Chain A
């Protein structure tokens, strides 16, 4: 199965700061998907097809990458962005998730 390694595990950012979360795959994948999960809530689709924002996602978010290296970037951190972010692939079965990156407010 394809293993997804996210970094960092935890990051603290101040409002207005730029944040980048990286997801590396053990084998090449065609697309990467990202989810946001806030404490006590279900995950929400955040980015699909590597760079497309899900409905309602602010355009300060962006996704990029190819092959084995992908990233989620927040151009300017806002308080509501504090959450855990997971990457996910389904280029091969089973679909797998990264371990998550917890983004905290500094």
Chain B
């Protein structure tokens, strides 16, 4: 069974940093691209970042480019999102999601981790 378990969220002040983790199990993590997708309270879904299976390809949403860094450790089956210079508009539930083998949709999602940016 595919499982994605996020952690690392919490309350953080504007301008500070936070690092999210997503531990994967139930599939060969190193074979799949991975994503972070967020959902602000009461709002829709917003894709944040993608990293290919071997970390060769990395893409970011314009709203986070230069502030967030996606990375992965295939030996630890873990995906990361380093978030810096956080803003109130980054407040959201952050999901880790697996890309399908061709990379164009999100076939498994974690339960999400809440990030609240507030003073």
Interface residues of B in 99-118 (CB under 8 A from A): 100, 103-112
Interface presence of A62 (CB below 8 A):
no
Beta-carbon contacts of B37-50 to A below 8 Å, as 1s and 0s? 00000001111001
Is the C-beta of A88 less than 8 angstroms from some C-beta in chain B? yes
Size of the chain A interface, CB-CB below 8 angstroms:
20
Interface residues in A6-23 (C-beta closer than 8 Å to B): none
Q: Which residues of B contact A88 (CB under 8 A)?
A: 45, 105-106
Q: Is the CB of B44 within 8 A of A98?
A: yes
Known: A42-B111, A43-B109. A97 touches B104 (CB 8 A): no
Contact partner, A90, options B61, B95, B105, Cβ 8 Å: B105
The yes or no answer to B62 lying at the interface (CB within 8 A) is: yes
* Main SS at interface, chain A: loop
Which residue of the partner chain B has the closest CB to A37?
A: B45
User: With the chains together, A5 CA to B50 CA distance in Å?
Assistant: 23
Query: Which residues on the A side are within 8 Å of B59 (C-beta)?
Result: 93-94
Contacts of B46 in A (CB 8 A): 97
- In the complex, residue of chain A having the shortest beta-carbon distance to the beta carbon of B96: A42
Q: In whole Å, how far is B8's beta carbon from the nearest beta carbon of chain A? A: 17
Counting chain B residues whose Cβ lies within 8 A of the other chain, the interface size class is 20 to 34
Is B44 touching A94 in the complex (CB atoms < 8 A)? no
Specify which chain B residues have a CB less than 8 angstroms from the CB of A35 in the assembled complex.
45, 106
Report B-chain residues with C-beta under 8 Å of the C-beta of A69: none
Per-residue interface assignment for chain A, residues 61 to 100, with 1 indicating a CB less than 8 Å from any chain B CB and 0 otherwise:
0000000000000000000000000101010011111111
Nearest-CB residue, chain A, relative to B45:
A97
Of B44, B62, B110, most A-chain CB atoms within 10 Å: B44
| Residue in A44, A90, A94 whose beta carbon sits within 8 Å of that of B109 in the complex | A44
Give the nearest-CB partner of A84 in chain B.
Answer: B44
The answer on a CB contact under 8 Å between B109 and A86 is no
Residue B44 contacts which of A31, A42, A44, A97 (CB distance < 8 angstroms)?
A97
- Besides A42-B110, A86-B44, A95-B47, 5 more A-B contacts (Cβ < 8 Å) are A33-B104, A42-B109, A43-B45, A93-B59, A94-B59
**B interface with A by C-beta (< 8 Å):** 44-47, 50, 59, 61-62, 95, 100, 103-112
